[in-house]
Structure 1
Amino acid sequence: MSLLPVEEALTRILALGTPLPVEPAPLAACLGRTLAADVAAARVQPAADLSAMDGYAIRFAELPGPWTLAGESTPGRLPDRALAPGEAMRIFTGAPLPAGADTVVVQEEIEAEGTAVRLTGEGPPRPGAHVRPAGSDFAAAAPLLTAGTRLGPAHLALAAMGGHGTLPVRRRARVALLSTGNELVPVGAPTHGLDLPASNAPMLAALLAPHAADAEDRGIVPDRLAPLARAFEEAAGADVLVTTGGASVGDHDLVRPALVQAGAAIDFWRIAMKPGKPLMAGMLDGAIVLGLPGNPVSAFVTARLFLLPLVARMTGEPAPASTRPMTLAAPLPATGIRAEYLRGRTEGDRVAPLSGQDSAGLATLAQADVLIVRPRHAPAARPGDVVDVLPIA
């Protein structure tokens, strides 16, 4: 069977995914999610002319005073009277200006004794000084947020101020993580002999955490056909089922036959990349199946290249960061029939491959901040050559 090029594999995986339904989500659940429709203001902000400082509301034309004190204005309520000629009203930050006032004198430039108010400083430089005019932030029905916005804290604050308690976003993707292998034990459990902690599930959950996806660890399944098929059948309700391990061609690599036994339709299997050749994709009862390699680095690289873009397509998020050119700081050998993704470390505008590129080498992955992308059949590269790098996350 010929190996599928990386670009074609990604195209076919993305074709399996469709955008998830739009739902109104409370603001507290919207951080990091992508807005599915334009949002307009349901109110005007500010709703009235408000003071930007503690001080005294006056008519600018009456400077330099003096004035007679006429009560006070506090935030959250309208003054109980208008400002008559020759009057000043004590006012606090965020409080509405009384009718008849158009300017605020800061309190540091005023001396008040009883009802007598006089200017002691230079005074405001222009009419409207220290006033936030009604509607200066936004008017009612004004556009607030546009579809496709990745919602951050400031966006949520703007939506809240605009009168919205919910926002239209696509449902979060439900991702089931299933680890396979007789050698695996739960993370934190004692290991004996050749036992291996099941590190892939927490790694993939962490990779998905910044995105609109809820990852659920469905545990460890041994390399036996019946338990694997049963575990796949029990994964109902997930949007994406991610398996790690058991996707190669050995006698104990049973993920593919178990998926078929469970009723899955396999779209493709094996791609032209290193690490990560035994990648599998298909559908099972409405869930997209991604069979990732079991070696941790292979699982990470394939998840970065295929799982994150798939989740982005389903949730409406922007596609993950793509490659950018950098100057190579160390030589690289020519590549063969597979594209290679090498763990690298950047320093300034240069990048160097890390030593130890074994697909099980997590220590090197933890040191890397990029993957150096080497196309198939690329000639040897020398220091000073330009290569493409892909951010780790």
Structure 2
Amino acid sequence: MISVEEARARILAALKPVPVEMVGLAQAHGRVLAKPVVARFTVPPANLSAMDGYAVRADDTRAGARLRVTGQAAAGHPFAGGVGGGEAVRIFTGSVLPAGADAVLIQENTLVEGEDILVNEPVGAGRHIRRAGQDFVAGDEVLPAGQRLSARDIGVAAAAGHPWLCVHRRPRIAILCTGDEIALPGEPVPEGGIVNANAGLLAAFVSAWGGEALLLPIARDTEDAVALGAAEARGADLLVTTGGASVGAHDLVLAGLKCQGFALDFWKIAMRPGKPLIFGAIDGLPVLGLPGNPVSAYVCAVLFLAGAMDLLGGVPTAGPVLEQARLGVPMKANDRREDYVRAHLVYDGAGWVATPLRVQDSGMLLALAGAQALIRRPAHAPAAEAGENVEILRLGMA
């Protein structure tokens, strides 16, 4: 058995980012930039008012001073003239500051008398002004290549003048579930069988991680069925199988894959859950074989599939982000396998507290759905008392 870290490194070393495409801003959310975004415009393009009020010369705004209002400037309608001594221009948020003005006197600090205003409170030079280029200037790199685009990033790209972005296309992940005992949700369940949860779980995981899930028909427990299912994954960027990865008489995934020319990289990892993990390739198509138990399949997806999808999608990845939390209860010493323990996570005012679920059975999906984190227990970790720090991996929407 190899370590989790070595398995992750070997998986990532075998992958490369998928090709790029141009998409409109509306389709770019969640995608990964293949090229940096360079601003075509300066933002703000000029000195703009940050408040409703009056464009003034700060030196003219002594308390009680009277200023003559000579015009107004609305957003998109700049004032053609300038501001001279003893003058003010009515201005609104987002309007271009007229020449000669160096401050905005907010309307709450004035009293209107006919065509004049009286200053109730002085304003300092530069106050309530958004300076030209204070966000960015034309030519600045505003978003780097490798950035997964949030809604905020889309706003930056739009402001920088880019209606189209060069991004990596979504990784295509083929999912092949195996086993005589499984049936799709809504289908009749065979005697002694069970509903296939892995297909929906993994398809949702792939979608949440920015990929495109390609669900293949269930492969029954024969080498030919697995081989045929693997053949249907041609054109995908990664084939993920579930089930049949152990050493039982009906665990035929390895044999079926080899019928298609599968070259094994590794099989079995020193971890719990998820020991019987398979990785290799069929004529350049990477294959990741997950265990059949839903919890094991999910934990392996978090630890390995997420990173693989990041790299395929163009994100330079460093692996899962581990955080610190305090244990809610004592934990016994660990054995030679790295352990990922499902846990509840609560904030007690002083920090996050992680409490392992009472039962850690790898078939209990409802318990997994109620967990907020995985506690990482290194191989041979000593016993830990309540209150000691442990490493956790948060579980989000994926």
Provide TM-score, normalisation by structure 1: 0.87
CA distance in 2, matches of 1:93, 1:189: 60
Instruction: Give the match for residue 128 of structure 1.
Output: 126
Post-superposition CA distance 1:343-377 (Å, at most 9, x none): 23344554333222222122322232233333444
Structure 1 residues 282 and 49 mapped into 2: Cα distance closer, same or farther (>3 Å)?
same
Instruction: Give the match for residue 361 of structure 2.
Output: 358
Q: Aligned-pair distance for 1:99?
A: 2.7
Verify: 1:372 aligned to 2:375, yes or no.
yes
Q: Aligned-pair distance for 1:245?
A: 0.9
Contact 2:69 2:117 in 1 (8 A): no
Q: Aligned-pair distance for 1:258?
A: 1.6
Post-superposition CA distance 1:18-67 (Å, at most 9, x none): 23334444333333344444433211122122222222333344446544
Post-superposition CA distance 1:102-132 (Å, at most 9, x none): 333333314152xx2121522x422333322
CA distance in 1, matches of 2:376, 2:288: 22
Contact 2:332 2:383 in 1 (8 A): yes
Q: Aligned-pair distance for 1:85?
A: 5.3
Q: Aligned-pair distance for 1:301?
A: 1.5
Contact 2:216 2:232 in 1 (8 A): no
Alignment counterpart, residue 30 of structure 2, candidates 29, 32, 45 = 32
* More deviation, 256-265/66-75: 66-75
Q: Counterpart of 2:362 in structure 1: which amino acid?
A: S
- 1:1-393 to structure 2, matched below 5 A, reads 3-63=1-61, 66-83=66-83, 86-108=86-108, 109-113=110-114, 116-122=115-121, 124-191=122-189, 193-315=191-313, 316-347=315-346, 348=348, 349-378=352-381, 381=384, 383=386, 387-393=390-396
CA distance in 1, matches of 2:231, 2:59: 79
Task: Give 3-state SS (helix, strand or coil) of 1:221's partner.
Answer: coil
CA distance in 1, matches of 2:344, 2:81: 68
Contact 1:355 1:364 in 2 (8 A): no
Q: Which runs of 5+ in 1 are unaligned?
A: none
Contact 1:236 1:285 in 2 (8 A): no
Structure 1 residues 56 and 311 mapped into 2: Cα distance closer, same or farther (>3 Å)?
same
Post-superposition CA distance 1:269-304 (Å, at most 9, x none): 222222222211111243211111111111111111
User: Aligned pairs, how many?
Assistant: 388
* More deviation, 171-180/331-340: 331-340
Post-superposition CA distance 1:128-180 (Å, at most 9, x none): 33322322322222342344444323222222212222344333221111211
Aligned sequence identity (%): 44
Q: Aligned-pair distance for 1:332?
A: 4.1
Structure 1 residues 51 and 375 mapped into 2: Cα distance closer, same or farther (>3 Å)?
closer
Task: Give 3-state SS (helix, strand or coil) of 1:10's partner.
Answer: helix
Contact 2:32 2:149 in 1 (8 A): yes
CA distance in 1, matches of 2:326, 2:267: 34
RMSD: 2.8
Q: Counterpart of 2:24 in structure 1: which amino acid?
A: P
Contact 2:182 2:189 in 1 (8 A): no
CA distance in 2, matches of 1:70, 1:119: 14
Task: Give 3-state SS (helix, strand or coil) of 2:216's partner.
Answer: strand
Provide TM-score, normalisation by structure 2: 0.86
Structure 1 residues 139 and 375 mapped into 2: Cα distance closer, same or farther (>3 Å)?
closer
Contact 2:183 2:190 in 1 (8 A): no
CA distance in 2, matches of 1:350, 1:78: 56
Q: Counterpart of 2:252 in structure 1: which amino acid?
A: L
Task: Give 3-state SS (helix, strand or coil) of 2:155's partner.
Answer: helix
CA distance in 1, matches of 2:273, 2:248: 17
Q: Counterpart of 2:112 in structure 1: which amino acid?
A: E
CA distance in 1, matches of 2:169, 2:98: 47
Task: Give 3-state SS (helix, strand or coil) of 2:8's partner.
Answer: helix
Structure 1 residues 212 and 317 mapped into 2: Cα distance closer, same or farther (>3 Å)?
farther
